[in-house]
């Protein structure tokens, strides 16, 4: 049988193998594999879904149904930094709309779009579970809580100027955040390298696979 992911980077192929080995039934690996495919292709592509179907024995329709159910699986190209501004009720009451407007202006990118240079994708999202630190946003799913419009602008400029390879919640919170929802523990050494979660086997700086090109 040919290897459906033979064209992927070596690192991403190895991570896919490690992930599949964790599950007695390889079909259960579909969700983390979708993140690895996102890193390989820049987003969830038709080819990526077909490759995962071949790897897992699921049908392409089953893989597509998982990918289309969750908003974190992006079907279109995503910028280097995905800025997700929560606009649900707690954040809304504490000025989230102004934060979103500030992010749009600072990035030159309207809600739901990607900047021409591929640097930013901006989106508004439903509650991200940081209501106590409202208003909250995420950069590549790394949290920043208690933001203000001015701090959000400063954050976007910091990203655009510094273009950090890895974004870490602790660092961004210290530089641009306000009151968090709870006392933070020890600094998290990992961080996100792309718009996929930065934990476990996904896109973390410490253990994650390689980011592909858009
Ligand atoms: S309402 Fe924004 S984090 Fe819950």
Eight-state DSSP code of residue 178: -
Here the contacts of 59-68 (C-beta below 8 Å, separation 24 or greater) are 62/30, 63/30, 63/34, 66/30, 66/31, 66/34, 67/34
Question: How many domains does the chain divide into?
Answer: 2
Do 98 and 120 reside in the same domain of the chain?
Answer: yes
Which pLDDT value is given to residue 183? 81
126 alpha carbon – ligand 1 mean position (Å): 7
Is 182 a domain residue? Answer: no
Is 137 a domain residue? Answer: yes
Alpha carbon distance 135, 124 (integer Å): 12
Alpha carbon distance 55, 47 (integer Å): 12
The domain boundary, picked from 44, 69, 94, lies at 69
Atom of ligand 1 nearest to the CA of 135: 2
Domain holding 156, by residue range, is 81-176
Is 188 a domain residue? Answer: no
Which among 186, 188, 194, 181 has a CA at the least distance from the CA of 41?
Answer: 194
Do 41 and 87 reside in the same domain of the chain?
Answer: no
Q: Global pTM? A: 0.88
Q: Is 131 in the pocket of ligand 1 (CB under 6 A)?
A: yes
The string of DSSP letters for 40-62 reads HHSS--HHHHHHHHHHHS--HHH
Which pLDDT value is given to residue 213? 42
Do 41 and 92 reside in the same domain of the chain?
Answer: no
Is 39 a domain residue? Answer: yes
| Residue 57 and residue 1 in contact, taking contact as beta carbons nearer than 8 Å | no
Is 117 a domain residue? Answer: yes
Tens of pLDDT, residues 27-51: 999 999 999 999 899 899 999 999 9
Do 64 and 90 reside in the same domain of the chain?
Answer: no
SS3 86: strand
CA dist 84 to 60, 141, 163, Å?
29, 8, 17
Which pLDDT value is given to residue 203? 53
Atom of ligand 1 nearest to the CA of 133: 3
Q: Is 130 in the pocket of ligand 1 (CB under 6 A)?
A: yes
Low-confidence residues of the chain: pLDDT under 50: 205, 213-214
Do 20 and 59 reside in the same domain of the chain?
Answer: yes
Identify which of 85, 86, 126 to mutate to test ligand 1's pocket (most ligand atoms within 8 A of the CB): 86
Do 87 and 165 reside in the same domain of the chain?
Answer: yes
Query: What is the CATH classification number for the domain harbouring 139?
Result: 3.40.30.10
Do 18 and 62 reside in the same domain of the chain?
Answer: yes
């Amino acid at each position: 049988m040919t290897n459906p992911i033979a064209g992927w980077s070596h690192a991403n192929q190895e991570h896919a193998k490690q992930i599949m080995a964790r599950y007695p039934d390889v079909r259960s690996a579909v969700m983390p594999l979708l993140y690895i495919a996102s890193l390989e292709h820049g987003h969830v592509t038709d080819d990526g879904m077909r490759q995962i179907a071949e790897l897992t024995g699921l049908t392409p329709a089953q893989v597509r149904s998982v990918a289309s159910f969750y908003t974190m699986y992006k079907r279109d190209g995503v910028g280097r930094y995905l800025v997700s501004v929560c606009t649900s009720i707690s954040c809304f009451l504490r000025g989230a709309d102004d934060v979103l407007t500030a992010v749009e202006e600072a990035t030159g990118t309207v809600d739901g779009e990607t900047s021409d240079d591929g640097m930013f994708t901006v989106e508004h999202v439903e509650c991200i579970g940081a209501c106590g630190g409202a208003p909250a946003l995420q950069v590549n799913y790394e949290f920043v809580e208690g933001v203000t419009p001015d701090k959000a602008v400063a954050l976007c400029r910091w990203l655009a100027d510094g273009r950090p390879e890895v974004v870490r919640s602790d660092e961004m919170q210290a530089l641009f955040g306000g009151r968090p929802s709870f006392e933070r523990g020890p600094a998290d050494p990992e961080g996100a390298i792309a718009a996929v979660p930065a934990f476990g086997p996904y896109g973390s700086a410490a253990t994650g696979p390689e980011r592909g090109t858009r």
